[in-house]
Structure 1
Amino acid sequence: MHILSRLTFTSGCPSKCICASDLLSCTKVSLTNVPENLPATSASMDLSHNSIASLRDDWLANIPHLHILRLSHNRLKSLSVGAFRNATELRHLDLSSNHLQTVQMEFFQTLFRLEELLLYNNFITYVEEMAFNRLANIRKIYLSWNNLTSFAFSSMQNLTNPHLRTLDLSSNKFAELPVEEVSSLPAFIKNGLYLHNNPLTCNCALFMLLSHWEHRGFSSVLEFSQEHTCLYMGKRRAVVRILKSQSGFDNCSVGLGQHIPDPGLKVLVGKRLMVTCNTSLPQENTTFLWISPAYDFIFPPGNSNQSFKIHPNGTLEIHKAQPWNSGVYLCIAVNRRLSYNATHEVNITVHFPKPEESFNTGLTTLLGCVVSLVLVFIYLYMTPCRCFRCCLKPPQTPSPPQESSAQSSILCGTPPATEGPNSRKAGASRHVVFLEPIKEGRVEKHPKILQLRTDSDSASSVFSDIPIVQT
């Protein structure tokens, strides 16, 4: 007790906490907020088993050497963008057994050295697609015992420096599994991808996937073979052990030794693509070489025009994919210390956006302008006769004009001309006459005449009896 009191009241150590050298322990002391004036020398900090509900921004700004931070068994519901902004040296972060609901990329974007992230036993329902892509050194991510129904497996392909060896998604609420996305993951991720204890619906694709992993000896399947279950016909009472029984997979014809090819990768034109050399060789003492579809050899660090780059772990980066980059790429990994080499093929397809994706606002605006111009021309030159009966009646002696009709125009078609010395010849044309507005009770001497060229055989006979307007 005497020793505890001496440690408790050490200079610079928060009340109720224990400080020893570079260690700070504040467990089970009923904290509701993070203590003020934390020791700057702390390398390991334990604030677990308290009632902390939030973390203020930049609260770790004065602790530059913090490597381990434990915040499990608290009441954290969400994290602010600046909660871990200054923890650039953090290696281990434990946020398990809290009330977190989402995981966003902004939470961990500055944790470049983080190796272990514990998020299990929360209420997480959504993980942002790029949430872990800034974690350049991450090795283990634990997301088990949450409420996840989906996960962006494809985002694991584009890790900047993929050291990930454990991705625990067990004991969630996955009903369906995107087999194609999961199959395309690197072998070192699939070896530590834990998917057991999920209410997956039984299907042949799932059976083939796990059978293939069992045949390859992946730890994630071998260590939890009993817990890999599925629901037959989606019924919760019909639980089937996938790897121990053929019940529910009677129509699935796959042998344990059958190879399931990994699907190819697809990328849009102009986008970056990271292609993993999916071999079981360790990164240490291993050299990598890629061969393009054009049979060009790509040596580290890449080609001369920097369109291809080979990372130290063998990942091939295509800077801006072009259509001619499509095809089968071959990775050759050689480990001289083990006297062993391995190869891996990847089929890459570079495609353009779908028509609906490329139909942008500018094109829509241009099309709208064109349509508007067409409608204007139609209105100006093809306006129907406002007084159709008047057009069909023979000309009569004009009566004094009315004020209301003096401002209107009349559109009439000319019929075939009658024979006569002053008559017009009937041809393959029709004439449309626009009369100027009537002014002061008489017709202007020079009406405007517009000639429309149409096929005489297909011209409408509606205006065939309308007399020519003489000027």
Structure 2
Amino acid sequence: MPRLVLLGALLCMLSVGLGAADSPEDWPPPAPHNCPYKCVCTADLLSCAGLGLQEVPAVLPAAAADLDLSHNALQRLRPGWLAPLSRLRVLRLDHNELGALGRGSFINGSGLQQLDLSSNALRVLGRHDLDGLGALEKLLLFNNHLAHLDKHAFHALGVLSHLYLGCNELESFSFNHLHGLGTVHLRTLDLSSNRLGRIPVSELAALPAFLKNGLYLHNNPLPCDCHLYHLLQRWHQRGLSAVRDFAREYTCLAFRVPASRVRFFQHSRIFENCSAALAHSLERPEEQLHAQMGQSLRLHCNTSAPALHVAWVSPQQELLVAPSSRDGSIAVLADGSLVINVVQQQHAGLFVCLAVGPRLHHNQTHEYNVTVHFPHPEPEAFNTGFTTLLGCAVGLVLVLLYLFAPPCRGCCCCCRRPCHCHRWPRAPSPLQELSAQSSVLSTTPPDVPSRKASVHKHVVFLEPGRRSLNGRVQLAVAEDFDLYNPRGLQLKASSESTSSTGSESPVMT
């Protein structure tokens, strides 16, 4: 019996030990399916950043929608390496050592929407290097060594909206056909910090307004050309963000040497001899339209020839294509015209029409600058009947007051309170008339030094027809005038009369 008890205790201890060893806390996590070594795989994210990889891992999980291979040492990409990644939407290949892409590098990336190739060693972009990226919307190629772009390098990118080519070595760029890019979807084109020294101004002026707002040309050795200066100056006055936000970094070379670089918008003295009409002759101004809140508005896409395809860009940078509508307020009709059923405040801004057709040599654009006004309240109608009735009532009240409220004559006994009657003043004396005409103060004559100046001094101007001395107006000075003792009044001749005739004596009253 004791042996059985001891054996049972040993079995319990053994089972407890085995259970503790097999607890879930000590189990190693299962490795994700096809997750490369040292990479992090979670849900649809795959990160192999900063691992020093020289080649892309051979096996990649098919569920990856966001693949990060940045900050490695990749030098090339195998053709067709994206075939297993049918769900891939974002691919990050920045900060590697890619010197070239090659044909077929992205042939299986039909679903890719964002591609980051920045901070590599790319020098040339070939015609077929980006084939297969039909759904790509954002392409980052800045901080490379790109010096040449094939004229059809971006022809496969039909819906690209943001292209970043800054910090490269480009000396020219075709703004006529944008190296195969279409202007329908493109919103941002960054060409800053390159070596662009020749820019066709006429091609810049022909770009649609929404692309001008996202065209970055700062920090380039641009020529100090009158046409280019006035075009950029007009863009700056219109408030285009690409020029306004980097105004200090727009420079030009005055004498074709790096030391002669001046700022466009701060040292404009070198453009004083340029005519301001050059910019208006190059760039077609937008058509100004005014609409009131709540009204309807229709915009026509005026082109030189019938257009095969018409698209519109709203002030909110939204693409509107016929036949389609957005939230019921804006609709593009089959003939290419744009209709706003009920004009609201958000409809104010620039509407751009893009037209493409076989007879149109270039994609033509037509711009409308819509200004929305609030309706003015209508003035209230003038009610003549009310005013007539009010006038009759006021007139009746005045008549009653005149009939039953006679003026007060003396202090009547019937009144319970004393009447305050007006007292007419007595006729003023000649002395008062003389005193009433005084207006200018005079000082004591210098020939009476013993007498002090009084504070009651007046200079009296007498009428010329009544009293005069030798044809001059007589002045009277009243000193210490006393209303009850007028005998102290002394009238003296004016200073001009005294100086002209020495025989005349002051007039005493």
> TM-score, normalised to structure 2's length?
0.54
CA shift digits 1:169-220 (9 cap, x unpaired): 0000011211111111111111100000111121211211110110111111
**C-alpha contact (below 8 Å) 1:91/1:115 kept by paired residues:** yes
Secondary structure of 2:356's aligned partner = strand
User: Structure 1's 250 and 122: CA in aligned 2 closer, same or farther, altered over 3 A?
Assistant: same
Deviation at 1:236, TM superposition (A): 1.0
User: Structure 1's 61 and 42: CA in aligned 2 closer, same or farther, altered over 3 A?
Assistant: same
**Equivalent in 55, 68, 74 of residue 96 of structure 2:** 74
**Equivalent in 19, 42, 56 of residue 41 of structure 2:** 19
User: Structure 1's 316 and 130: CA in aligned 2 closer, same or farther, altered over 3 A?
Assistant: same
Deviation at 1:332, TM superposition (A): 7.7
In the alignment, does 2:265 pair up with 1:243? yes
Aligned runs of 1:279-290 on 2, under 5 Å?
282-283=317-318, 284=320, 285=326, 286-287=330-331
Deviation at 1:314, TM superposition (A): 4.5
Runs (5+) with no aligned partner, structure 1: 265-271, 291-296, 301-312, 341-471
Aligned equivalent of 2:83 = 61
User: Structure 1's 245 and 298: CA in aligned 2 closer, same or farther, altered over 3 A?
Assistant: same
Secondary structure of 2:222's aligned partner = coil
In the alignment, does 2:156 pair up with 1:134? yes
Aligned equivalent of 1:228 = 250
User: Structure 1's 277 and 234: CA in aligned 2 closer, same or farther, altered over 3 A?
Assistant: farther
Deviation at 1:328, TM superposition (A): 13
In the alignment, does 2:193 pair up with 1:171? yes
In the alignment, does 2:339 pair up with 1:317? no
**C-alpha contact (below 8 Å) 2:142/2:167 kept by paired residues:** yes
Aligned equivalent of 1:42 = 64
Rounded Cα–Cα distance in structure 2 between residues aligned with 1:159 and 1:124: 18
In the alignment, does 2:298 pair up with 1:259? no
- Paired letter, 1:27: A
Rounded Cα–Cα distance in structure 2 between residues aligned with 1:328 and 1:40: 41
In the alignment, does 2:166 pair up with 1:144? yes
**C-alpha contact (below 8 Å) 1:31/1:52 kept by paired residues:** yes
User: Structure 1's 158 and 111: CA in aligned 2 closer, same or farther, altered over 3 A?
Assistant: closer
Deviation at 1:261, TM superposition (A): 3.6
- Paired letter, 2:173: F
* CA RMSD between the two structures: 3.8
Rounded Cα–Cα distance in structure 2 between residues aligned with 1:7 and 1:339: 65
CA shift digits 1:243-302 (9 cap, x unpaired): 12213212113289x6354379xxxxxxx9988868857445455589xxxxxx7669xx
**Equivalent in 204, 209, 213 of residue 235 of structure 2:** 213
Aligned runs of 1:66-145 on 2, under 5 Å?
66-145=88-167
**C-alpha contact (below 8 Å) 2:354/2:364 kept by paired residues:** no
- Kindly indicate whether structure 1 or structure 2 has the higher relative contact order, using CA contacts under 8 Å at least 6 residues apart: 1
Secondary structure of 1:24's aligned partner = strand
CA shift digits 1:30-71 (9 cap, x unpaired): 101000110100000110111110000110101111011000
User: Structure 1's 207 and 190: CA in aligned 2 closer, same or farther, altered over 3 A?
Assistant: same
Rounded Cα–Cα distance in structure 1 between residues aligned with 2:116 and 2:242: 22
Deviation at 1:231, TM superposition (A): 1.4
**C-alpha contact (below 8 Å) 1:200/1:230 kept by paired residues:** yes
Secondary structure of 1:50's aligned partner = coil
**Equivalent in 225, 243, 246 of residue 203 of structure 1:** 225
In the alignment, does 2:175 pair up with 1:153? yes
Rounded Cα–Cα distance in structure 1 between residues aligned with 2:233 and 2:313: 19
User: Structure 1's 240 and 329: CA in aligned 2 closer, same or farther, altered over 3 A?
Assistant: closer
> TM-score, normalised to structure 1's length?
0.58
**C-alpha contact (below 8 Å) 2:208/2:365 kept by paired residues:** no
Moved more, 227-236 or 247-256: 247-256
**C-alpha contact (below 8 Å) 1:287/1:335 kept by paired residues:** no
User: Structure 1's 124 and 69: CA in aligned 2 closer, same or farther, altered over 3 A?
Assistant: same
Rounded Cα–Cα distance in structure 1 between residues aligned with 2:250 and 2:364: 34
- Paired letter, 2:249: E
Runs (5+) with no aligned partner, structure 2: 1-24, 286-306, 321-325, 339-351, 375-509
**Equivalent in 181, 186, 190 of residue 208 of structure 2:** 186
Secondary structure of 2:46's aligned partner = strand
The share of aligned pairs that are identical, in percent, is 39
Rounded Cα–Cα distance in structure 1 between residues aligned with 2:207 and 2:312: 10
**C-alpha contact (below 8 Å) 1:116/1:138 kept by paired residues:** yes
Rounded Cα–Cα distance in structure 1 between residues aligned with 2:228 and 2:137: 30
Secondary structure of 2:145's aligned partner = coil
Rounded Cα–Cα distance in structure 1 between residues aligned with 2:102 and 2:39: 25
Rounded Cα–Cα distance in structure 2 between residues aligned with 1:107 and 1:195: 25
CA shift digits 1:282-325 (9 cap, x unpaired): 445455589xxxxxx7669xxxxxxxxxxxx943221x33xxx7
Rounded Cα–Cα distance in structure 2 between residues aligned with 1:209 and 1:182: 9
User: Structure 1's 33 and 316: CA in aligned 2 closer, same or farther, altered over 3 A?
Assistant: same
**C-alpha contact (below 8 Å) 2:89/2:112 kept by paired residues:** yes
- Paired letter, 1:79: L
**C-alpha contact (below 8 Å) 1:240/1:247 kept by paired residues:** no
Q: How many residues align?
A: 308
User: Structure 1's 339 and 31: CA in aligned 2 closer, same or farther, altered over 3 A?
Assistant: farther
Secondary structure of 2:223's aligned partner = coil
Rounded Cα–Cα distance in structure 1 between residues aligned with 2:193 and 2:106: 28
**C-alpha contact (below 8 Å) 1:153/1:182 kept by paired residues:** yes
User: Structure 1's 329 and 222: CA in aligned 2 closer, same or farther, altered over 3 A?
Assistant: closer
Rounded Cα–Cα distance in structure 1 between residues aligned with 2:123 and 2:250: 26
User: Structure 1's 168 and 327: CA in aligned 2 closer, same or farther, altered over 3 A?
Assistant: closer
- Paired letter, 1:127: L
